[in-house]
Amino acid sequence: MNEMLKNRTAIVTGASKGIGKAITLSLAEAGVKVVIAARHKVDLKSVEKEVRVHGSECLAVQADVSKESDVDRLIKKSIKTFGTVDILINNAGFGIFSKVADTSVKDFDGMMSVNLRGVFLCSRGILPTMMRQKSGAIINIASLAGKNSFVGGATYSATKWGLLGFSRSLMLEVREHNIRVIAICPGSVNTSFSDHSKDSEKIIQPQDVADTVLFALTMPARSNVSEIDIRPTNPK
């Protein structure tokens, strides 16, 4: 249990698997009360059971972060249950990789809606609470795809480039309220999302991202590590 995080409350989106699940369980182990959000109820309930094994309080809310009504309900339930929210982890996101000529409008709109609009809705929704209490942390799980171009990644990369721009501007807007905004940019992570043609033992693990989140959250209150890149040491 981490004394800096004990009894804090966090919302984690996309918490039902992969990076989101690893972050959720690490926060719970550190003594954080967690609100977990995802679209799939069965997976969400499974994570909720694991959180309770760590002795942490947990609220599971089925929600699609691209929908304003779902985000409003998520935040209202979180505050009603725990009184406040100290940490927001914007992790929900997905990618469909295809060349621009082969990308459908549906896939383009879907990635933009979740990867970018969802972060905007969740951040905007929680800011009044954090500004009122003069403290808080918003962590956006971005990607090295937000800094690097590659064939088939135009739309996904655009969402992550946009997320970095959003994070950098938001950080400047809210720092006077003692709110930290941190963008974490992993490379390929060993989840169902990533290309498993690579050696899965040599690429980044979900727990590596979770450990980075905890590192950022436990920095002294006077310090804000606003952007962190995570790469494998030797992927060959």
Residues designated catalytic: 156
- For residue 123, the one-letter residue type is S
Tell me the H-state helices in the chain: 18-29, 41-53, 68-82, 105-112, 118-133, 154-174, 206-217
Alpha-carbon distance 125 to 220, whole Å?
A: 26
Rounded (to 5) percent helix, strand, coil in the chain? 45, 15, 35
Burial of 46 (0-12, 13-18, 19+ CB in 10 A): middle
| Sheet-wide strand order for 58-62 | 58-62, 33-38, 9-13, 87-90, 136-141, 179-186, 227-230
Place of tokens 């609220």: 59
Alpha-carbon distance 5 to 210, whole Å?
A: 14
Alpha-carbon distance 2 to 28, whole Å?
A: 10
Q: Which is nearest to 12 in space by CA: 180, 139, 108, 130?
A: 139
Paired with 189 in beta bridges are: 204
